[in-house]
Structure 1
Amino acid sequence: MTGHGTTSRTTTWLQRLLVAGGVLAAGYGVAGLVTDPSVAKQPYLRYTLTVLLGHDLLVMPLAILIGLLATRWLPQWARPAVQGALLVTATLTAVALPLVLGYGRRPDDPSALPRDYHRGYLIAVAAIWLTTATLLALRAARSRRTSATQHQEET
């Protein structure tokens, strides 16, 4: 018991130390941005507002709506698989979106972003949802078998 309490205190202390380090690093970055006259502030401000407003006005309401619909319309046995697929799809989209939109592509440098990112993204999303559909089909079959077995035991 004593060892567990010590580990918990150590973990809490370490977490607080890491948070403090992160806050100090962020503060150092903001101080450098604000005080350095050679840094253009407008792009940073535009980026920060876009991220904050995009998250609060678009991403979060959409995530809440999708979660509400999934909870309301999906059977209990299907929710974890669909929620996992939605999470993986959202993560993939966040990572792939700049490539799909072609940010960084330059006509004078054909080796910059040389792949067909649209097709690659669609293939990856299809693989996620095909895997999810397969898992759901297996779970549905198991759920039907369990229901049939319980129904036979009751009669």
Structure 2
Amino acid sequence: MIALRMLLIAGGIWLAWHGISLLLHDDPADLKSIAFWFVGGILVHDALFAPLCAAAGVGARRLLPRSWWAPVACGAVCTVVLAVLAVPVIGRRNAVPDNPSVLDRNYAAGLVVALAVVWILVALVLLQPLLRLDRLKRFAALRRKP
């Protein structure tokens, strides 16, 4: 266990050193941009996103039955990740008319389909106990009939 921990620590230190050494070769304008996005990302997360997630979690815990908490939380996390990943391509800002292979799909429709799949799966997980109970009732009724 200690050897594994030491290996993980050494790997982390090596990856940090490698990342810093790559940054040292960038010009100052790129370093300023990296620092801006790094600090901005932390501030947006801590000042906006984390409190909103905490408030949504508290509200959902008050409104939803206990057995729904985990599937709905999983669906919410998937929704946020898919939405954040889709932000750069939804507006098709960088689409190039001369090159149809750049942003060549309807990404908004793809996002809607992906979110529909996520929430259908959440609904199936939530309905699973009801479907299992119904199956058990039918089985019990069949066993009672002579």
Q: Tell me the TM-score normalised to structure 1 length.
A: 0.69
- Residue equivalent to 2:108: 118
- Residue equivalent to 2:121: 131
Give 3-state SS (helix, strand or coil) of 1:13's partner. Answer: helix
Letter in 2 for 1:128: V
Q: Distance in 2 between matches of 1:143 and 1:73?
A: 24
- Residue equivalent to 1:80: 70
Using a 3 Å threshold, how does the CA distance of structure 1 residues 82 and 37 change in structure 2: closer, same or farther?
Answer: closer
Letter in 2 for 1:17: L
Q: CA RMSD in A?
A: 3.0
Using a 3 Å threshold, how does the CA distance of structure 1 residues 96 and 18 change in structure 2: closer, same or farther?
Answer: farther
Alignment of 1:62 onto 2:52: yes
Alignment partner of 1:52 out of 30, 37, 42:
42
Using a 3 Å threshold, how does the CA distance of structure 1 residues 63 and 16 change in structure 2: closer, same or farther?
Answer: farther
- Asked whether the equivalents of residues 82 and 132 of structure 1 are also in contact (C-alpha less than 8 Å), the reply is yes
Using a 3 Å threshold, how does the CA distance of structure 1 residues 28 and 138 change in structure 2: closer, same or farther?
Answer: closer
- Asked whether the equivalents of residues 78 and 139 of structure 1 are also in contact (C-alpha less than 8 Å), the reply is no
Letter in 1 for 2:113: I
Using a 3 Å threshold, how does the CA distance of structure 1 residues 108 and 45 change in structure 2: closer, same or farther?
Answer: farther
Percentage of matched positions with identical amino acids: 30
Letter in 2 for 1:42: K
Unpaired stretches in structure 2, ≥5 consecutive residues: 135-146
Q: Which 4+ stretches in 1 moved above 3 angstroms? A: 34-39, 101-108, 137-144
Give 3-state SS (helix, strand or coil) of 1:92's partner. Answer: helix
Alignment: residue pair count:
136
Alignment partner of 2:18 out of 24, 28, 35:
28
Deviation at 1:24, TM superposition (A): 2.8
Q: Distance in 1 between matches of 2:81 and 2:27?
A: 36
Using a 3 Å threshold, how does the CA distance of structure 1 residues 36 and 116 change in structure 2: closer, same or farther?
Answer: closer
Letter in 1 for 2:114: A
Alignment of 1:99 onto 2:89: yes
